[in-house]
């Protein structure tokens, strides 16, 4: 009898293990060395396969190059209209190029087009020299940024991804830097281009990322292929306010690279949704202000928060608002005056600053005296205002 019971327990355990394994290992039929699917707003991973192996990533490297360019643009260090002069070194790079000539000048805007759409190796070097003085100095910046972002399995040796020893990344790290690049929304003006021109229409551009033309919602991000890296892709697509990032590394052919990315994106859009809990600037409530020219001020969210939910499952969200008990003028627009704590099933997922929507100046002595006498003779400030209109 004991043997029967033990056998039954073992069988049940094995069945349970098989169910857990099946639930945690969805087969998407990918043909690649490594892959990952990330939801952009939360950073949540929806699918992964060997995501941390260090692999060559070819021109997907240019995600980091574009990130540093966009940081320089958005910080005001450079502008999209700045002219970039091409050096002999930049002109000498082969592979995918925008056929730059030594001494030629193009705007940062045109360089970004060449890099994002045509995967221009020469454009990457020209921009690196423009921003850092030399490509090697720019590569140091790339590695420093990778460290800052927590990209533990990444090391860059060049700006464009040409095969070189000790130049590698991982699917997870590519997703991380892709997500960071997408915070600079202007980049989509380039990565979503299907066809365009440069040099007054004399040079045709066609996007190396075929999903831009053939996949609903595709808006980026970067392809790459070399004999060592095989075919790689960081693909981005957005539907119904959900932005996904699908990374495929080491696919044997270009067609299989795009097919794998499409399978990842299809899986994400079919099974998950993003619920917006609060958007930066949304007014939560109004609150009274003591000693202020205005009697109240709006309370607005200082940041946004979204939650990822599997379709068909309840998103059990609670929001707790804490406002400072006493709000006294003067108050500056944007001043923090409280916090919204957003929790799922009792676990805190975000603390959002709540800020004043506008500036409230402190009452001057004249207005304080006026309000004092109004209170004595009319009972309230509101009565004073109503009598003055009669």
Which residues contribute to the annotated binding site for substrate?
A: 222
Q: Is 119 a residue of the active site?
A: yes
Q: Which is nearest to 228 in space by CA: 157, 163, 153?
A: 163
Q: What is the dihedral of CA 166, 171, 172, 175, to 10 degrees?
A: 110
- Catalytic residue, chosen from 34, 49, 59, 178, is 59
Q: Map the chain to HEC letters.
A: CHHHHHHHHHHHHHHHHHHHHHHHCCCCCCCCCEEEEEECCCCCEEEEECCCCCECCHHHHHHHHHHHHHHHHHCCCCCCCCEEECCHHHHCCCCCCCCCCCCCEEEHHHHHHHHHHHCCHHHHHHHHHHHHCCHHHHHHHHHHHHHHCCCCCCECCCCCCCCCCCCEECHHHHHHHHHHHHCCHHHHHHHCCCEEEECCCCEEEECCCCHHHHCCCEEEEEEEEECCCEEEEEEEEEECCEEEEEEEEEECCHHHHHHHHHHHHHHHHHHEEEEEEECCCCEEEEEECECECCCEEEEEECCCEEEEEECCCCCCEEEEEEECCCCECCECCCCEEEEEEEEECCEEEEEEEEEECCCECECCHHHHHHHHHHHHHHCCHHHHHHHHHC
Do the Cβ atoms of 147 and 124 come closer than 8 Å? no
Q: Is 33 a residue of the active site?
A: no
Q: Is 362 a residue of the active site?
A: no
Do the Cβ atoms of 292 and 360 come closer than 8 Å? yes
- Catalytic residue, chosen from 33, 62, 238, 262, is 62
Do the Cβ atoms of 108 and 208 come closer than 8 Å? no
Rounded to 5°, angle at Cα 60 from 56 and 64: 110
Strand partners, 196: 205
Q: Where is the binding site, in residues?
A: 222
Which residues have a catalytic role annotated?
Answer: 59, 62, 119
């Amino acid at each position: 009898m004991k043997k029967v019971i033990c056998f039954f327990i073992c069988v049940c355990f094995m069945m349970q293990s098989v169910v857990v394994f099946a639930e945690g290992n969805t087969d998407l039929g990918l043909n690649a060395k490594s892959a990952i699917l990330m939801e952009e707003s939360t950073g949540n991973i929806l699918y992964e396969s060997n995501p941390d192996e260090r692999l060559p990533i070819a021109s997907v490297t240019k995600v980091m190059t574009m990130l540093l360019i966009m940081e320089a643009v958005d910080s005001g260090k450079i502008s999209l209209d700045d002219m970039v002069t091409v050096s002999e070194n930049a002109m000498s790079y082969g592979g995918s190029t925008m056929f730059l000539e030594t001494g030629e000048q193009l705007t940062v805007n045109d360089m970004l087009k060449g890099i994002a759409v045509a995967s221009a190796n020469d454009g990457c070097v020209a921009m690196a020299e423009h921003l850092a003085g030399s490509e090697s100095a720019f590569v140091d910046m790339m590695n420093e940024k990778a460290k800052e972002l927590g990209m533990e399995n990444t090391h860059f040796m060049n700006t464009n991804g040409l095969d070189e020893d000790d130049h590698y990344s991982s699917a997870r790290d590519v997703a991380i830097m892709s997500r960071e690049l997408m915070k600079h929304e202007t980049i989509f003006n380039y990565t979503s281009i299907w066809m365009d021109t440069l040099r007054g229409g004399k040079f045709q551009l066609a996007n190396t990322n075929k999903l831009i033309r053939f996949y609903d919602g595709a808006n980026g991000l970067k392809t790459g292929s070399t004999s060592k890296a095989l075919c790689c892709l960081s693909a981005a697509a957005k539907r119904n306010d959900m932005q996904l990032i699908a990374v495929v590394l080491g696919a044997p052919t270009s067609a299989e690279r795009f097919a794998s990315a499409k399978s990842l994106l299809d899986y994400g859009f079919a099974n998950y949704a993003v619920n917006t809990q609060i958007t930066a600037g949304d007014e939560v409530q109004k609150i009274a202000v003591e000693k202020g020219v205005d009697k109240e001020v709006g309370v607005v969210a200082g940041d946004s928060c979204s939650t990822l939910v599997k379709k068909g499952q309840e998103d059990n969200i609670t929001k707790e608002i804490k406002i400072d008990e006493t709000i006294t003028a003067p108050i500056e627009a944007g001043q923090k005056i409280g916090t919204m704590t957003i929790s799922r099933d009792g676990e805190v997922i975000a603390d959002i600053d709540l800020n004043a929507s506008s500036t409230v100046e402190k009452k001057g002595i004249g207005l304080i005296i006026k309000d004092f006498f109004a209170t004595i003779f009319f009972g309230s400030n509101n009565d004073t205002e109503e009598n003055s209109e009669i």
